[in-house]
A and B are shown apart, each in its own frame.
Chain A
């Protein structure tokens, strides 16, 4: 990987995981025109689930936040493939959907989701933050702690 974003990742000490293999009958992303629709991803490194469980029960707030950060890096792992290795082709993240695996009484899902937005902001800058929806979920596939999908705009 070369380019400004690759350099920025290096500067931040961030390494992208390999593009996660889809968990069922779907593909990692679909490009239509200048939009890339990325499938839901979780806090994984390849096939290894790094954060499993429920925030507020088996996982701390900090675990949830870290899960959100790693999940956002997995979105970029798919984008690396979608952009043929050149992340400078990304104009911005347009829309982010954040799903947090929590107990029913947990009310800080939006703060957990900031983990995803924060890491994207560190990489792409504050002016290019996405529109975002966040919801707490009673359960997520394979008990992952966090899931996100996104739409990115290409230049």
Chain B
């Protein structure tokens, strides 16, 4: 099944690719690598999932926030590739930033919201290397931010 067909089969609704929040571009293609800028949990312009893990955001909500970041990453990648994901060879790398209190330690579970989505959509080609880190604060007060690198044909 093609990646586009998988998106349709999973009935995933991708958000419209968000306009960058400042002086940068959402994607850059360098050779066979596609770099996607940090995405926050927005859906068609509306910011969702504000707050801090370990304080006012629970684990399950954090996972949902990471998943929405992942949907935005896929949306940006599709836009960069002319409207189809079928040139994606694999997801190479995911970076996860979790807005959290100093005593929070479950970053990996939160960022799995994005990682699980990559595997759902791309199958084995969705398996990636990853880092996860806590942040004191994130742009617009969101709970999670995620960036990614893809290999493309």
Instruction: Report whether A27 and B128 are in contact in the complex, using a CB–CB cutoff of 8 Å.
Output: yes
Question: Does A2 count as interface, using CB distance less than 8 angstroms?
Answer: no
**If A32-B33, A54-B102 touch, does A137 touch B134 (CB 8 Å cutoff)?**
yes
Please provide the chain A residues from 135 to 151 with a CB less than 8 Å away from any CB of chain B in the complex.
135, 137-143, 147, 149
Cβ–Cβ < 8 Å partners of B109 in chain A? 24
For A98-142 the 0/1 string (1 means CB < 8 A from B) is: 010001100000000000000000000000000000010111111
Instruction: Report whether B131 and A99 are in contact in the complex, using a CB–CB cutoff of 8 Å.
Output: yes
B116 to chain A, nearest CB (A): 6
Please provide the chain B residues from 82 to 129 with a CB less than 8 Å away from any CB of chain A in the complex.
90, 92-94, 100-109, 111-112, 115-116, 119, 127-129
Instruction: Report whether A149 and B129 are in contact in the complex, using a CB–CB cutoff of 8 Å.
Output: yes
**If A25-B115, A30-B92, A33-B32 touch, does A139 touch B100 (CB 8 Å cutoff)?**
yes
A135 to B92 Cα, complex, angstroms: 22
Interface residue SS majority, chain B: mixed
Cβ–Cβ < 8 Å partners of A99 in chain B? 131, 133
A17 to chain B, nearest CB (A): 18
- Residues of A at the B interface (CB closer than 8 Å) are 22-30, 32-33, 35, 37-40, 54, 97, 99, 103-104, 135, 137-143, 147, 149
Give 10 closest A-B pairs by Cβ, nearest first: A40-B131, A139-B134, A24-B108, A26-B130, A39-B129, A25-B115, A149-B131, A141-B107, A23-B108, A138-B102
- Residues of B at the A interface (CB closer than 8 Å) are 31-33, 54, 90, 92-94, 100-109, 111-112, 115-116, 119, 127-136, 149, 151
